[in-house]
Amino acid sequence: MKHILDGLEQRRASARLGGGHKRIDAQHARGKLTARERIELLLDQGSFEEFDMFVTHRCTDFGMDQGEKTSGDGVVTGWGTVNGRAVFVFAKDFTVFGGSLSETHAQKIIKLQDMALKNRAPIIGIFDAGGARIQEGVAALGGYGEVFQRNVLASGVIPQISVIMGPCAGGDVYSPSMTDFIFMVRDTSYMFVTGPDVVKTVTNETVTAEELGGASVHTTKSSIADRAYDNDVEALLQMRRLIDFLPANNTETPPEWPSFDEVDRLDASLDTLIPDNPNKPYDIKELISKVVDEGDFFEIQDAHAKNIVVGFGRVEGRTVGFVANQPMVLAGVLDIDASKKAARFVRFCDCFNIPIVTFVDVPGFLPGTAQEYGGLIKHGAKLLFAYAEATVPKVTVITRKAFGGAYDVMSSKHLRGDVNYAWPSAQIAVMGAKGAVEIIFRADLGDPEKIAQRTKEYEDRFLSPFVAAERGYIDEVIMPHSTRKRIGRALALLRHKELENPWKKHDNIPL
């Protein structure tokens, strides 16, 4: 029996080596960890259980049946735990055929996706590969299609996270694009459908891989990636942190962790957060950090559409999704990018039973031909649609401006907001005083004294929270220093909220 056990250990050792020491050394020389090192760092120590370690490809074309086959076929799959909670994970192994996808490689991922869905647990994919294995032709393409189908079936049922830690090109990019979150590593990862050589041939553009699809591009311009990190270690440790915020599936409530921050904590500094000058900006992240437990806030898409802030925090140890206009950037105005960013985040929270807290300071939608030609109407409607269809608890706090249609869009009472608060500094109106007076009293434009008087009258009457409060659109005007306490009590009240939308096959959100 001993020689049989020794033989098993030898086969396991060979499989764990992947492409061999030389290729592992080359991977390390690029500043990258191997697939197995990444999984070991992501999961709790000793918790990883691997599936299909001995799978090999079946291709016989182009000499692929000659020589020794590498066990695992370029992807490591299995499950483990993150802080004791089950997670399924696959990691493409660049040391074996460049991590390229073959028929059997795809079957390993498909098997894992099916298991994750059946067991209602999150799945994390770690990508470091060059696309389809050309030698396998349509069999590889068929494998991609099967993976994509399962991405769609799992969407909104279990959290799906993609971590790009090397090249991700061709068909490989579409699976991450259908997952809930994509994270990248600066300088070592890139995503594109067609690489620099193809771009040069077709369009005569000369562009590097980093310029075409690096982390800097996808976190700031395309919004494909949700965040970027400096190295593999930081990225994987942050994934552990993210998983702690998320429920395992769409039938569970978010995890509850011990909190050492009193829910009824008051913060007097919030009473002076809003500047006296209504046109002077302030940092909305300061408010978020003073409301969440222990200042712990995991921001999503921090480098894109900075005029709106979205991310996860906790109140009384329970996960909450935060959406907040950022006056520091474009005065917190809603534009195409901000609307899309926030809409996707709101829909994710609604999928996974995560309550949404919205901080509002929005002067309206961004005017201009670039926005109108780019489809601001349709893209702005995405955020409106997302809030309107959401059935999770929704708590809103208007801190300053809430003008025009943007007031409606930002989780107003009219879109089934559950608890809507306003600070005394709130200004809820169709538009700002200057614009309103110039329209209403156009005949007096030549008389600066009259215009000043009319402006003062408009400000006194409309630029306050009390007109909305008189109509029940605001539940209460609260003191800024009590914001955390009031939000905590509102979320506790709404913990067992039940609300269902009419049955439908699916909605038709304005894509």
Report the catalytic residues: 170-171, 405-406
Gap between the Cα atoms of 345 and 358, Å rounded:
12
The answer for 85, left when phi > 0, alpha when psi is -120 to 50, beta otherwise, is: beta
Strand runs (DSSP E) across 83-195, as ranges?
Answer: 85-92, 123-127, 160-164, 167-169, 181-185, 190-192
First to last CA, the chain: 62
Gap between the Cα atoms of 44 and 47, Å rounded:
6
CB 162 within 8 A of CB 176: yes
Gap between the Cα atoms of 276 and 500, Å rounded:
42
Strand runs (DSSP E) across 73-119, as ranges?
Answer: 75-82, 85-92
CB 162 within 8 A of CB 179: yes
> At residue 199, what are phi and psi to the nearest 5 degrees?
-60, -45
- Give every CB contact of residue 91 below 8 A, 6+ residues apart in sequence: 35, 36, 38, 39, 75, 76, 77, 125, 126, 128
Strand runs (DSSP E) across 64-176, as ranges?
Answer: 75-82, 85-92, 123-127, 160-164, 167-169
Gap between the Cα atoms of 44 and 38, Å rounded:
12
Gap between the Cα atoms of 430 and 463, Å rounded:
10
Gap between the Cα atoms of 263 and 291, Å rounded:
9
Query: Which tokens is 387 given?
Result: 């809030």
68: nearest Cα among 53, 79, 57: 57
